[in-house]
Structure 1
Amino acid sequence: MSKSISIFDTTLRDGTQGEGISFSADDKIKIARKLDALGVHYIEGGIPGSNSKDIEFFRRAKDLGLSSKITAFGSTRRKGMAAEHDANLKCILESGAQAATLVGKSWDFHVHTALQTTLEENLAMIYDSIAYLKASGLEVIFDAEHFFDGYKNNPEYAVSVLKKAREAGADWLVMCDTNGGTLPHEVHGIVTSLNTELPGAPLGIHTHNDCELAVANTLSAVQAGVTQVQGTMNGYGERCGNANLCSIIPNLQLKMGYQVIGDDSITNLTSTARYISEIANVNMPVNQPYVGNAAFAHKGGIHVSAIMRDSRTYEHIAPELVGNKQRILVSELAGQSNIVSKAQDMGLSFDPSSEQAKNVISKIKDLEHQGYQFEGADASLELLLREANGEVHELFTFESFKMLVEKTAGRPVVSEAFVKINVAGQSIYTAGEGNGPVNALDNALRKALVQYFPTLTDMHLSDYKVRVLDDKETTAARVRVLIESKNADQSWNTVGVSGNVIEASWEALVDSMRYALIGQMSPELQEGEALPRQGIVNH
């Protein structure tokens, strides 16, 4: 039977110390529910009494009915004060949390410099605080701050801190690599020595990522005998972050054979990571292992050809195990296998040796040379492939557009767009205002089309990005615009490129609406030729 590892998530506490991370009480409740569904064993909600958000979280968390244990964080009692009089410890008891995490000093340097007290008083502070909470019925996790630095400087004292915590009744003894500077072999050696010093003690590990070793250090500690792992989703945390549970959980369960969370639950790992990323309003790195958008993405033609025969050739696990999916990227590096694979995903039939496939590859490479990028614009790519397969018939023909941007002293800028298109043989001229040129174009084009295609009322632009392709050309540089659009069911991305940012935006905008209407592209509505991609001056 595989050994069980307890997962202690501190995204809501230690994770919020990361730059740019801030959660409201509502955010914390939503994340706690998601973490509970994932199957983590402990959810550290924050520091009761420290701020109104944490106070509200603990108040509301009592009624959530979660399987995970809600945990409150705090420090040991102040020097020279009885534990029962310490306001911080009282707040922990009043929070209603099922467990408490107490942090205490284990590095003699910190005891003298930060606490400015004696080594003996520090041990008393640890003992009194833990004993007080235990007497009140709480499970207590003791976080030995700076443990590895302390052990390397004064091993006898660092170990005495853990022994004192255990003597007081601590349920877990967690070693913290607070500065993130310890190496995996050091972690393994120190934890191994503790198995002799503290036989049978329930040990945990809490690492930081300052040397980009937090995950490696955690795995090393588990190999040496720890049974609780602390970390955050997506590695959020102070400075360079905490140990990333999105990597630790699958490494332990899928690679090392430990029982961490349920086999059904681990398939929710990717969706949980992305959900929390959205709430944090922080973009996930596309190359984040296991859960990143590019974790199982393939671009080189030789790679794609191989994985089409057997995905194990270039994938270390099946992406579905963690709720992710394989992606085939199409670019100037693409071979026929990339195109065939993408076409298959769309339900299209492509003969790899056909002129059709060769022509599409050639066209894509030419467009990428001009600055188009289809890796992040799957909808524009799908339109190209469907056009090559004869499946797309244009619903409208572009005739012209013009923009008016007016700034009056003391008033905000006003943008107005005038769009002229032809739908089913009828010329339509509309105007639309917006809080910027692209918004105005979107409103004008939508107004022209919605009378024929009412489903467009459910669609909206959700993201807009501009990338300068050659900054040496300054204001004359070509730009690439990526637009993300959404409706009730899905989201999709389109791309446009031009030396004029408005034209690049128009291209991406038109592709976005064309993609939204794929199912309605019938020959009966075809009028004129396909939408041109030439520059504005040629229309």
Structure 2
Amino acid sequence: MEKRKIEIMDTTLRDGEQTSGVSFSISEKLTISQLLIEELHIDRVEVASARVSDGEFQAVKAITKWAGENGYIDRIEVLSFVDNGVSVEWMINAGVKVQNLLTKGSLNHLTYQLKKTPEQHFTEIKQVIDLAGANGIATNVYLEDWSNGMRNSPEYVIQFLDFLATQKIKRILLPDTLGILTPSETTQFINELLGKYPHIHFDFHAHNDYDLGTANVLEAVKAGINGLHLTVNGMGERAGNAALASVIAVIKDFVPEVEVGVRESSIYKVSKLVETFSGVRIPTNKPVVGDNVFTQTAGIHADGDNKNNLYFNDLLPERFGRKRQYALGKTSGKANIEKNLLELGLKLNDEDLKKVTQRVIELGDRKETVTKEDLPYIISDVLDSNLYEQTVVVDSYVLTNSMGLRPSATIGVTIESEQFEENAQGDGQYDAFMNALTKVYTKKNRTLPKLIDYAVRIAPGSNSDALCETIITWEVPTKIFITRGLDSDQTVSAIKATQKMLNII
């Protein structure tokens, strides 16, 4: 059985650009248009509104020039207005071949915004459609506020559609302009229109004010809608539009009798590029494209994945060019750590794995997550700590660093059950700590090793809260040896490395 094809129109560059604070440059608009059509295989792209600005005009010219040279010109669309031909002239000069004409889809908007009768509005719309057609521009018609129109003035909507059915137009676009529809209303309204006008191509344009955008789109598809308007990352005014990634996944998984041409494997790549160009961060829990949505945090989930993929659903990350990850933190179990070690090509025996797991949990209590790249440092730290007995403990310390004053340290140290407290200043916090420690060891008639090298490193690609490994090389008369400390604070990691040295000597 042949699947029913649904057209996807992306309106990231027009409606999505109405996201507060977002304005794409000419080159960004061109790049996004190219990716949407050639990489994602979007059917149509609404790239701008007519008459907005000279920058918008230049961007549309660049897009139509590229589209014309590559056979895509009929897939480039612009929002236009009933304005006595001003928009049509703008589109002619910009090289546009398809207009999406904005008209009034509710009697409320018509009466109080335009202050016109339906007959006056229809007459002006016909003039714009005819003028566009005479200049080689095809017309789709937006019924602005259509959802409120169906709720409150359905007779007007039917009167309007009866008129549009007589005009030379390609599609009628049904926007839930204020995002007020419920799924049941979406089903009811679209069923009604498709039953009455079976030969008209209808698009549905959902907004997300009640977080029902994807649900409403799903119902529209089930009701038989011909096309959908979506945006990358759900960008758009107020709460945004129905998100491309979520809708494509929902259709492919829950409406198998329907076909969309969008290439799923490219969705994440395009989403990240739009995030970069727009400056609007993708929420970490955003379905399909959020940073965390393919990350298992709980150890029981990782264990379940090892046992017949018990915590997998159909949203496999590989569909979207992504990978499943296993977070390391206070809820980690051995299974999480084993998964990450496997990716690093490392294997530990059960005893060492338990010790590393415990250390990850301890670190997770202070730091939200530990990265996979931190694991070699943690392993080194844990296994290194097993080589000596803990007879010296740095119980407490206060480190100060103030502008105009020398750094200082007050420390409390226990050496073989004997407690000491000292204070000292230094050229830095760690130097002050070492000066205070020297005072303690002077009281014990002991000499500290000479510090001959001090190195700090963090995992590649880390952030400012990354785990920090400090590697200190010490010299005593008989040998040179190294100790390591690990902490998200550099000075603390150096103190931990120093405590290891104190126990070794």
CA root-mean-square deviation: 3.0
8 Å Cα contact 2:264/2:320 also seen in 1: yes
8 Å CA contact 1:183–1:217 kept in 2: the answer is yes
* Contact kept in structure 1, 2:485 and 2:494, CA below 8 Å: no
Residue in structure 1 matched with residue 492 of structure 2 by the alignment: 535
Query: For residue 40 of structure 1, what is the aligned residue in structure 2?
Result: 42
Given residue 224 of structure 2, which amino acid in structure 1 is its aligned partner? G
Partner of 1:470: none
Letter of the 2:40 counterpart: L
Separation (CA, whole Å) in 2 of partners of 1:381 and 1:285:
26
Q: Which residue of 1 aligns with 2:24?
A: 23
Tell me the equivalent position of 1:62. Answer: 64
Shift in Å at residue 172 of structure 1?
A: 0.8
Structure 2 counterpart of 1:162? 161
Cα deviation 1:170-189 (Å, max 9, x = unaligned):
11111110010110100110
Amino acid at match of 1:323: G
Aligned to 1:297: 295
Displacement of 1:21 in angstroms is 1.9
The verdict on how the C-alpha distance between 1:225 and 1:492 changes in structure 2, with shifts beyond 3 A counting, is same
How far residue 46 of structure 1 moved from its aligned partner, in angstroms, is: 0.7
Give the drift of 1:165: 2.6
Q: Quickly say closer, same or farther: Cα 1:153–1:301, change in 2 above 3 A.
A: same
Q: Is the 8 A contact 2:340 2:372 kept in 1?
A: no
Q: Which amino acid in structure 2 is aligned with residue 53 of structure 1?
A: G
Q: After superposition, what is the alpha-carbon deviation per residue over 1:345-384, rounded to whole angstroms, capped at 9, x for unaligned?
A: 2221244xx1111101111111222x11225x44334532
**Cα distance in 1 between the residues matched to 2:428 and 2:91:** 58
For 1:475-496, what per-residue CA distance to the aligned partner results, in whole angstroms no more than 9, with x for missing partners? xxxxxxxx9x9xxxxx722464
Larger displacement relative to structure 2 (116-125 or 231-240): 116-125
Distance in 2 (alpha carbons) for counterparts of 1:3 and 1:206: 19
Q: How many residues align?
A: 424
Q: Give the TM-score of the pair, scaled to structure 1.
A: 0.72
Equivalences for 1:46-445 in 2 at 5 Å? 46-65=48-67, 68=72, 69-77=75-83, 83=84, 86-257=85-256, 258-261=258-261, 265-311=263-309, 313-351=311-349, 354-369=350-365, 371-374=366-369, 377-385=371-379, 427=452
Contact 2:430/2:494 (<8 A) preserved: no
CA distance in 2, matches of 1:252, 1:389: 50
Tell me the distance in 2 between the aligned counterparts of 1:87 and 1:31.
27
- Relative distance call for 1:61 and 1:418 in structure 2 (3 A) is farther
Check 1:360–1:197 CA distance in 2 against 1; reply closer, same or farther (3 A cut).
Answer: same
Q: CA deviation at 1:404?
A: 8.9
Q: CA–CA distance in 1 between the matches of 2:428 and 2:19?
A: 42
CA distance in 2, matches of 1:373, 1:67: 50
1:258-314 deviation digits (Å, cap 9, x = unpaired): 22125xx21111111111111111211111111222222111122111112333633
- Say whether the 8 Å CA contact 1:290–1:324 is kept in structure 2: no
CA shift, 1:67, in A, is: 6.0
Structure 2: unaligned runs, 5 residues or longer? 385-398, 405-426, 432-449, 472-479, 499-505
- The alpha carbon displacement at 1:389 in A equals 7.5
C-alpha distance in structure 1 between counterparts of 2:221 and 2:250, whole Å:
11
Return the offset for 1:138. 2.2
Q: Deviations over 1:21-54 (max 9, x none)?
A: 2211122112112212111111111123311221
**Cα 1:383–1:316, aligned 2, differ >3 Å: closer, same or farther?**
farther
Given that 1:402 and 1:417 are in contact with CA atoms closer than 8 Å, whether structure 2 keeps it comes out as no
Distance 1:333 1:427, change over 3 A: same
Shift, 1:339, TM fit: 0.9
Cα distance in 2 between the residues matched to 1:386 and 1:280: 42
Q: Equivalent residue of 2:159, what SS?
A: helix
Q: Report 1:487-498 matches (<5 A).
A: 492-494=461-463, 496=465
Question: Which whole-Å CA distance do the structure 2 matches of 1:309 and 1:13 have between them?
Answer: 47
1:10 alignment counterpart = 11
Paired with 2:343 and 2:381, the residues of 1 have a C-alpha distance of: 16
Identical amino acids, percent of aligned pairs: 23
Give secondary structure in 2 for the equivalent of 1:343. Answer: helix
- Measured in 2, the distance between the counterparts of 1:537 and 1:339 equals 25
Distance 1:98 1:134 in 2: 10
Change (3 A) 1:536 1:47: same
CA distance in 2, matches of 1:44, 1:201: 20
**One-letter amino acid matched to 1:9:** D
Mapped partners of 1:10, 1:289: distance in 2: 19
Mapped partners of 1:274, 1:155: distance in 2? 41
| 3-state SS, counterpart of residue 279 of structure 1 | helix
AA aligned to 2:290 is: G
Amino acid across the alignment from 1:366: E
Q: Offset of 1:114 from its aligned partner?
A: 0.8
Which residue does the alignment assign to 1:398? none
SS at match of 1:117: coil
The amino acid of 1:365's aligned partner reads I
Query: Which stretch has the larger CA shift, 63-72 or 43-52?
Result: 63-72
Q: Which residue of 1 is the match for residue 387 of structure 2?
A: none
Q: Distance in 2 between matches of 1:105 and 1:492?
A: 51
Q: Deviations over 1:211-249 (max 9, x none)?
A: 111111111111111111001110111111111111111
Displacement of 1:62 after TM fit? 2.6
Cα-to-partner distance string for 1:313-357 (whole Å, 9 max, x where unaligned): 333332111222211112111111111111112221244xx1111
Note the 1:495-506 alignment, pairs <5 A: 496=465
Report if aligned partners of 2:377, 2:486 keep a CA contact under 8 Å in 1.
Answer: no
Are the structure 2 counterparts of residues 188 and 22 from structure 1 closer, same or farther at C-alpha, using a change threshold of 3 Å? same
Q: Is the 8 A contact 1:127 1:164 kept in 2?
A: no
The answer to whether the 8 A contact 1:299-1:329 is kept is yes
- CA deviation after TM superposition for structure 1 residue 250, in Å: 1.8
Which residue identity is paired with 2:261? I
- Displacement of 1:105: 0.2
Separation in 2, partners of 1:389, 1:282: 43
**1:532 Cα deviation from its structure 2 partner:** 5.2
- Secondary structure of 1:167's counterpart equals coil
